[in-house]
Chains A and B, each alone.
Chain A
Amino acid sequence: MKKIVISLTLFFFIIVFVISSLIPKEREESKLNLLKEKIAQKKAIVHHDHSRYDILKKKFNSPKEVTEACMTCHVEEAREVMKSNHWNWESPQYIKGRGVVYIGKKNAINNFCLGTEGNELACAKCHVGFGMTSSKTFNFKDSTNIDCLICHDNTETYAKAPEKGGAPVATLDLSFVAQNVGAPKRTNCGVCHFFGGGGNNVKHGDLEKSMFEPNKEIDVHMAAEGSNLTCVDCHITKEHNISGQMYSLASSNRNRVYCEECHTETPHEDGILNKHTLKVACQTCHIPIYAKVNATKTFWDWSTAAKLKNGKPYEEDDADGNHTYLSTKGSFKWGKKLKPEYIWFNGTASHYLAGDRIADTTQPLILNPLNGAYSDLDSKIIPVKVMITNQCFDPVYQILSLPKLFSPTPGEGAFWTDFNCLRALDVGMKEIGLPFSGKLSFIETKMNWPVNHMVSTKENSVKCNECHTQNHSRIAGVKGFYMPARDSNSIIETAGFGLILLSLLGVFVHGIVRIYSSYKLKKRG
């Protein structure tokens, strides 16, 4: 008896010790609180008041005059802007197997409005400059073409005019805007980045107008009742080079923004969760759904475009007011509250560039394959929005063909005014200097849009068994490794369950026979 008591107490103490050493400490909360304090201090910095400068008080007759006024002080800044992607619409990127190429809006192909070349007058609404009628003729060396206000206007009144090559609307009080400049606010970034692809949330899915004033459910970082961060709080900018890049255009693993910069690589109280961070990006668990408020475009079929009613283009909308058909663009599908798809990613990407021969036209063409694998030490699992499009391709030359889309004057072959596919393709391909056979076919293309925003509260993050499960695991398609619950070995499963079944059966039969025979023995005996 004494021995039982002694060993029981001993064991009890050991268990208490083990459990207490495993119980999570309050570390994480304090870490997060420190971070919040740091952010609060940063917010207290007051920005420079520009309204006291006389040169900004005069009446400006053109936006260029504002830029000139800015540059009386900010000479170096102008040079910096002219080195930036926002200005150049391209940047040197290294693509494995291809070398260094210059990629950007200028020449890249996407599966939304396909390409900017030949359509600059419309597309340049989102260029930090004035007067871009063509990226070939635009003077990238003339600093008076810089549009300072689109990023630095703090009045929320500055706006660019549609289809004017980047010029602001004519009725603005430029003097008022110029006196009220400051660091970019969410609105400055959002007017372009939330509306890419020609409408709210068309492209990204995680960047849209609800992010101007999100609540905590939409985005913990930008919510007013949260940290109330602006875009540039995370996208830290030095010398007008804004950190962060989008793999629709970028290829190299550089200038990226990482959650870890603030949160460290081991932000959790739970060691097992911290172990995940080596292979799983923060976004994967902390952005369970995107397009939380408004739908994002998920599918685009160019092949149905150009249908006319009574000789006139028309549109059809869904219940939320999203276009489901436009004569100019074809048919669309939209999605709201979407679960991302998941993919290994090491920070490098490849790109389909205009004129690249498509090797296998029976498979969907991925326009921006993201590189990565389990075995690659730099890779993590990231969430992506996959955009699928049925787009024009030339079956003879086996290249994607790009139509001329926009022109202010009818008769120049632009698709959106003339609705003649073949002519638009002919003109479009000529403008970018590529051949067109005169034949039109369609091919399915895919693009990966990494999802990085709309971070949910930690209570709403992805639960263990949304991935660790045999049925419909979120990462069912992410291959190359063994994951408990998702994976098992069919031989061991069959043998194992077989063994269990046999044991149960054996025990059952043995028991029955025993009961029966003892009953018989008793009767006999």
Chain B
Amino acid sequence: MKEKIYIYRAFERFWHWMQSLLIIFLGLTGFEIHGTISFFGYRNAVAYHNIAAYSFIVLIIFAIFWHFATGEWKQYLPTAKNLKAQINFYLFGIFKNAPHPTKRIVLSKLNPLQKLVYLGLKLLVIPVMVFSGLIYMNYRYPQEGGGVEGLNIGSIEPVALFHTAGAFLLLAFVIVHLYLITTGTTITSNLKAMVTGFEETENNEETERLKETENYNDNKQLSEVTNG
């Protein structure tokens, strides 16, 4: 029996789509600044990149707020459980129409591989991008008199290299991520879920059980809950 469950809440979906647009736009303008492509014109690329970057930071602040206010941050706590099973699924099971080793439920919407990758993005790549980007925007050449000494930078090179490396990682992530969208229960079910919030899944006893016994918003045991 098919069943619809509500996985992504409104803000989360809004945040996700804004973030994806901004990252793609930052990537486009960023790689123009980097000299790889030319599309907007260099001067526009710089101006747009800066505007998008500030928007991105605002969005991130909201998202952080939301994650803590709702407790959703716990979704990203890494778990070793089923990690291997998930990798095995993508490498082998998926070709045999094997079931997903981890079921999506409200309380645990991310599979162990996702948890790990998204946590890496949130704790490593995005902060590196934001901080290197902010320094890139606001550093000063060493100069006599005035201003904040702390922002004096002899060479922007290391900052730029971190920023570029992070941009490559994000780009690779976007490519793989776009593909993995199609690996849900059906080709489009993941996409639909992020648009409507609802995911269609095969009815699953355990989900039912969980839904009955656990409070919707109480995510205390989240990290332990994974289906297999």
A residues apposed to B, CB below 8 Å: 1, 3-4, 7-8, 11, 14-15, 18-19, 22, 272, 278-279, 375, 377, 463-465, 468-470, 481-482, 484-489, 492, 495-497, 499-500, 502-504, 506-507, 510-511, 513-514, 517-518, 521
Contacts and interface: CB of A to CB of B under 8 A. Distances in A.
B200 to A, nearest CB: 19
B60 to A, nearest CB: 12
Given A14-B58, A484-B33, A468 B42 contact: yes
Contacts of B168: 492, 495-497, 499-500
Given A18-B51, A521-B97, A499 B172 contact: yes
Contact of B164 (A272, A468, A488): A488
Contacts, number: 117
Contact of B11 (A7, A375, A481): A7
B77 interface: no
26 contacts: A1-B10, A4-B11, A4-B13, A11-B59, A14-B58, A18-B55, A18-B58, A22-B50, A22-B54, A377-B144, A463-B43, A464-B42, A464-B46, A465-B38, A468-B33, A468-B42, A469-B35, A482-B155, A489-B164, A496-B165, A500-B171, A503-B172, A507-B176, A514-B183, A517-B95, A518-B97
B68 interface: no
Contacts of B9: 3
Nearest to A485: B35
Nearest to A464: B42
A521 B97 CA distance: 8
A464 B43 contact: yes
Contacts of A375: 154
Interface of B: 9-11, 13-14, 18, 33-35, 38, 41-43, 46-47, 50-51, 54-55, 58-59, 62, 90, 94-97, 141-144, 154-157, 160-161, 164-165, 167-169, 171-172, 175-176, 178-179, 182-183
A106 B11 CA distance: 79
A500 B34 CA distance: 16
Contacts of B54: 18, 22
Nearest to B136: A484
B42 A465 contact: yes
B164 A496 contact: yes
Contacts of A11: 14, 18, 58-59, 62
Contact of A4 (B10, B33, B46, B51): B10
Given A377-B144, A500-B175, A504-B175, A485 B33 contact: yes
A22 B51 contact: yes
Contacts of A482: 155-157, 160
Nearest to B53: A18
Which 7 A-B pairs give the minimum distances between C-beta atoms?
A485-B35, A496-B168, A482-B157, A464-B42, A517-B95, A465-B42, A507-B179
Contacts of B142: 377
A3 B8 CA distance: 13
A278 B42 contact: no
Contacts of B175: 500, 503-504, 507
A487 B167 CA distance: 16
A463 B42 contact: yes
**Chain B CB within 10 A, most for which of A463, A465, A513:** A465
Contacts of A1: 10
B176 A506 contact: yes
A381 to B, nearest CB: 12
A503 B176 contact: yes
Nearest to B66: A7
B177 to A, nearest CB: 10
Nearest to A14: B58
B58 to A, nearest CB: 5
A504 B9 CA distance: 31
Given A482-B156, A500-B175, A272 B35 contact: no
B35 A15 contact: no
A470 B35 contact: yes
A492 B164 contact: yes
Contacts of A492: 161, 164-165, 168
B35 A488 contact: yes
